[in-house]
Every structure is written in C-alpha cells, then in structure tokens.
Amino acid sequence: LASRTVVACSRPQVRVKPDHSGVVTDGVKHSMNPFCEIAVEEAVKLKEKKLFKEVVAVSCGPAQATETIRTALAMGCDRGIHVEVTGKDYESLGPLQVSKIFAALAKKEEASLVILGKQAIDDDCNQTGQMTAALLDWPQGTFASEVEIEGDKVKVVREIDGGLETIKINMPAVVTADLRLNTPRYATLPNIMKAKKKKIANMKPADLGVDIVSRLEVLRVDEPPTRLAGVKVETVDDLVAKLKESGTI
C-alpha cells in the first residue's frame, strides 16, 4: 500500500518563493493526500475481511512524511516504510521517481496488491499508479469506485466519462482509488496511541537501487494574476454596456 504526503496550507493563500522555484512550504501542515486516504481505508477494509494478511503504508519524502505514515497506522495499517527523500531531490520528486520506489518496494515486499490514490491534489498528475503498474508489468485498475477480491483476481468498478466500467484483473495488481470508493474512518485516540508503537522502517532510494534523478526541470513558478474587483449592475442594459466597455462583446 502506498500513501503520499501533500501539503495542506493553513495560511490564507499559497505563496511563491522569491526565486520562483516553487511554493513556500515552511511552517505549513503536512497531511495525507485525500485520495490516498481513501486507498488506505480500502486496504484496511480488505484486511478486516480476512482477504489480506498485512497492510503496509509507504510514503516518500522528508522527516515529516512519518506523520502521514502514523496516520495510516492509526487507521489500521500494520507497519510503515518511510523512503527518505530530502533537499533538491525532494523538490524534484515526481510521479516517475515515486513509481520507481513503489515498484521496487512491491517486489521487495512480494505484495499482492498496490493500492494508492488516483492522483495527488497538489500536482494533479494522475500518473503514479499507471507508471507503477507499467514498471512492474502488472495489471491495473484505475479510478476505482468499487473493489472486490475474487480468488486471485480483483474486480474493479471504474469511474469513466460515460458512466461505470467493470473489469476483472489478475493479482498481483495496481489499483488507484477514486472519490466514491469509500469514506475514510477517523483515527480514534486509542488507535493513535497504538500507532506510536508500530514499526516504521526507514530507507533511502539507493537502498532499493532506485535512481530518482528527475528528467524534468521547473523553469519558473508564478502566482496567478490578481483578479479585478467585481462590479454590480442594476439592469440588463447596464450589464451589456459594461461588457461592451470592457471589450468582452
């Protein structure tokens, strides 16, 4: 099981760094990506049904990533793995690099199922699950709104533009969780206390033989232009006049 850490900003707005290399994350709270939280819940539910023996939560990033793993452990995961990535490597960490780490861990752990969020809400890439499946050469069931284990197969109901699509794939497999798959549970205080005693293994990408050098370069990050103040009009004629004045029509 893989979970990703995202940054939940507690300030009124996201601020761009003075050098335009990214956004300011100092002093902001880190939390689990909501879609990965759904994936954690589904994995725990499958274990509660006696369909799997163990659920392992994985997160890549700096020391703060262990907070996310502890949340997953409090939700019911058995143990965690923190793949430590810091500094410039962390700033350039993208779906391909994360996928390489997940694929290496899936092989090392002899996983039957890798389940993660369909996308992260910070970059909205929607690539990690698909790339992980490709690197492993495993079947994939993306945008899952329903997951059922049938022997050595997984039945996945997928959300697609035209409605729902039901597929059945062999395990081992990769599944990505969509919004309507489930409603994640709240971690209770007793479970939060228990999670502190659960093991979190720490390793680096090099320990897995993974190269996380990025092939992409962020040239510049800019804030969106400031929105102009709105104008209230009394009548339709006033609205049309304002639109003509602004050159919209």
| CA distances for 67 relative to 5, 37, 243, angstroms | 9, 13, 51
* pLDDT (tens place) for every residue of the chain, 249 residues total: 444 444 333 334 678 889 998 888 777 777 899 999 999 999 999 999 999 999 999 999 999 899 999 999 999 999 999 999 998 899 889 999 999 999 999 999 999 999 999 999 888 999 999 999 999 999 999 999 999 999 999 999 999 998 999 999 999 999 999 999 999 999 999 999 999 999 999 999 999 999 999 988 889 999 888 888 888 899 999 999 988 988 888
The model's pTM is: 0.84
Alpha carbons within 13 A on the beta-carbon side of 9: 12
Dihedral of CA atoms 140, 71, 201, 137 in degrees, nearest 10, equals 0
Distances (CA, A) of 71 to 24, 158, 214: 24, 27, 29
Enumerate residues 6+ apart whose C-beta is below 8 A from 232. Answer: none
